[in-house]
């Protein structure tokens, strides 16, 4: 009999480990963008402009007018687990920011070329820095790696180029620039609706320096959620929206609140449009999805789907944002009871509206 020899266990190279870890967080251009948008929002920006080339694979650029980054912090900006937002484990249960793990920029720097131009209000000039694999890198061969003074606006301009240049399998798995751009537009649109007081812009360019491409998403800021939905999804929809609010319910011991805008029976789209935010974070939940479909099953004809924007505010201590590397999947206490309560409110709001309409046409 042939002897089966055990394989030798070797330690992976550090750079490979980091690249694998980065892939867990940054799946595609849209997931990088989500992290960058959240950083801009965390920095208190009131204007966020996104520029995209080839679905974000060639270029993904975010300009915000937020706090900017202190020059002294630039050397560790892209190191793993460097954050200005979390310092003790207790802090996780009272999080009010999107970020907390200091992993996003580090991850991006392992799978793309990353550079930043940033200016705080108190500094007289902006600083430019480039990063590779978590650390500062010279912008050009022969130059030093340290940040260089330059012209720039208050806030931060982050440029991500050649995403996944060093992970060819990941790059090959992504379908097309057009498909990736659609996902990017979705992320920007959803955040623009939820943050209707903030001005968003998203456009694609073919050559970064040539021409003023028309923006595909533009919101003025300072609007209401309904106005922004009208602007981005069409005014016909905004006329068919019902507001549903569930406030301080005694369904569970903890306080929570839900604000929703849901389409009525007049609106019939081909696919369910669900904008779900839990504590201001864009998330997905198959449970909520199913509950919404259940609510509309008796209201819309077969094959028709509604528009639902749902913002849930829960006690931060009831939410664990750390179950999923992308923070996309969020779990919270009393999930079932809360979703059922919201569904009931949606159901009765829809029934109430349709019966009042029947009443109107009868008289």
Q: Kindly list the residues in this chain that would bind ligand ADP in the complex (CB under 6 A).
A: 35, 39-40, 43, 64, 66-69, 77, 83-85, 99-106, 156
Enter the tokens of residue 6: 């055990």
Counting contacts by CB under 5 A, is residue 39 touching Mg ion? yes
Is 55 a residue that touches Mg ion (CB under 5 A)?
Answer: no
Which partner in Mg ion, ligand ADP, none is near 66 (CB below 5 to 8 A by kind)?
ligand ADP
Name the residue number minimizing CB distance to Mg ion: 99
State the nearest-atom distance from the C-beta of 153 to ligand ADP, in Å.
12
Residue placing its CB nearer to Mg ion in the complex, 86 or 251: 86
Q: Is the Cβ of residue 40 or residue 308 nearer to Mg ion in the bound state? A: 40
Chosen residue from 66, 99, 155, 306 binding Mg ion by CB under 5 A: 99
Strands (E), the chain: 47-53, 59-64, 113-119, 126-132, 135-137, 148-150, 155-161, 199-204, 217-218, 241-247, 256-263, 273-278, 281-282, 307-314, 319-320, 331-332
Q: Answer with the entry of ligand ADP, Mg ion, none that 83 interacts with (C-beta below 5 to 8 A by kind).
A: ligand ADP
Residue 40 near which of ligand ADP, Mg ion, none (CB within 5-8 Å, type-dependent): ligand ADP
Instruction: State residue 71 phi and psi, 5-degree precision.
Output: -55, -40
For residues 167 and 296, what is the distance between their CA atoms, to the nearest angstrom? 43
Identity of the residue, 55 or 102, whose beta carbon is nearer to ligand ADP in the bound complex = 102
State the sign of the Cα–Cα–Cα–Cα dihedral 168, 170, 174, 180. Answer: negative
Site for Mg ion in 101-130 (CB under 5 A): 104
Residue 95 site contact among Mg ion, ligand ADP, none (CB < 5 to 8 Å, cut-off depends on kind)? none
**CB of 43 closer than 8 Å to CB of 67:** yes
Least distance to ligand ADP from the beta carbon of 41, Å?
Answer: 9
- Contact call for residues 160 and 55 (beta carbons, < 8 A): no
With CB under 5 to 8 Å by kind, the binding choice for 77 among ligand ADP, Mg ion, none is: ligand ADP
Question: Minimum distance from CB of 103 to ligand ADP (Å)?
Answer: 6
Q: How far is the CB of 208 from ligand ADP (least distance, A)?
A: 20
Using the contact rule CB under 5 A, the part of the chain among 94-102, 232-240, 241-249, 251-259 near Mg ion is: 94-102
Please state the closest distance from residue 71 (CB atom) to ligand ADP, in A. Answer: 12
Query: Shortest Cβ distance from residue 98 to ligand ADP (Å)?
Result: 7
CA distance readout (Å), 132 to 73, 79, 105, 149: 16, 10, 10, 19
Are the beta carbons of 47 and 221 closer than 8 angstroms? yes
**Contact in structure between 183 and 191 (CB atoms under 8 Å):** no
Residue 272 CA to chain centroid, in angstroms?
19
List the single partner that 64 binds among ligand ADP, Mg ion, none, CB under 5 to 8 Å by kind.
Answer: ligand ADP
List the structure tokens of 131.
């990063």
The minimum distance between CB 152 and ligand ADP, in angstroms, equals 13
With respect to ligand ADP, which residue has the nearer C-beta, 108 or 338?
A: 108
Specify whether the CB–CB gap between 78 and 131 falls below 8 A. Answer: yes
CA atoms of 159 and 18, how far apart (whole Å): 20
Which residue, 110 or 267, has its beta carbon nearer to ligand ADP? 110
Question: DSSP character for 57?
Answer: T
In the complex, minimum distance from the CB of residue 343 to ligand ADP, in angstroms, rounded to a whole number = 33
Instruction: Using alpha carbons, select from 295, 309, 304 the residue that is nearest to residue 233.
Output: 309
Residues that bind Mg ion (CB under 5 A): 39, 99, 104
């Amino acid at each position: 009999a042939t002897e089966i020899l055990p394989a030798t266990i070797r330690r992976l190279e550090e750079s490979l480990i980091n690249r694998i870890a980065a892939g867990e967080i940054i799946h595609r251009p849209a997931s990088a963008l989500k992290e960058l948008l959240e950083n801009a929002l965390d920095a208190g920006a009131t204007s966020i402009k996104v520029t995209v080339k080839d679905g974000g694979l060639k270029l993904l650029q975010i300009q915000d007018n937020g706090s900017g980054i202190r020059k002294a912090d630039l050397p560790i900006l892209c190191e793993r687990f460097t954050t200005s937002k979390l310092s003790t484990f207790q802090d996780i249960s009272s999080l009010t920011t999107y970020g907390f793990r200091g992993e996003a920029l580090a991850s991006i720097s392992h799978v793309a070329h990353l550079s930043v131009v940033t200016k705080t209000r108190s500094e007289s000039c902006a600083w430019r820095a480039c990063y590779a694999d978590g650390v500062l890198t010279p912008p050009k061969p022969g130059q030093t790696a340290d940040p260089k003074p330059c012209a720039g606006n208050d806030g931060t301009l982050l440029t991500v180029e050649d995403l996944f240049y060093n992970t060819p399998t990941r790059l090959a798995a992504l379908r097309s620039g057009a498909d990736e751009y659609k996902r990017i537009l979705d992320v920007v649109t959803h955040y623009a609706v939820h943050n209707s007081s903030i001005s968003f812009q998203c456009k694609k360019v073919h050559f970064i320096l040539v021409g003023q491409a028309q923006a595909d998403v533009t919101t003025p800021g300072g609007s209401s959620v309904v106005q922004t939905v009208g602007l981005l999804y069409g005014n016909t929809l905004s006329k068919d929206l019902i507001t549903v609010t569930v406030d301080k319910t005694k369904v569970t011991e903890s306080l929570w609140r839900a604000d929703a805008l849901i389409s009525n029976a007049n609106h019939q789209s081909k696919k369910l449009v669900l904008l779900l935010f839990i504590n201001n974070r864009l998330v997905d939940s198959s449970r909520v999805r199913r509950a919404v479909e259940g609510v509309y099953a008796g209201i819309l004809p077969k094959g028709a789907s509604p528009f639902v924007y749902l913002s849930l505010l829960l006690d931060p201590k009831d939410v664990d944002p750390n179950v999923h590397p992308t923070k996309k999947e969020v779990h919270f206490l009393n999930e079932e009871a809360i979703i059922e309560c919201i569904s009931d409110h949606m159901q009765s709001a829809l029934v109430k509206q349709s019966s009042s309409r029947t009443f109107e046409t009868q008289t």
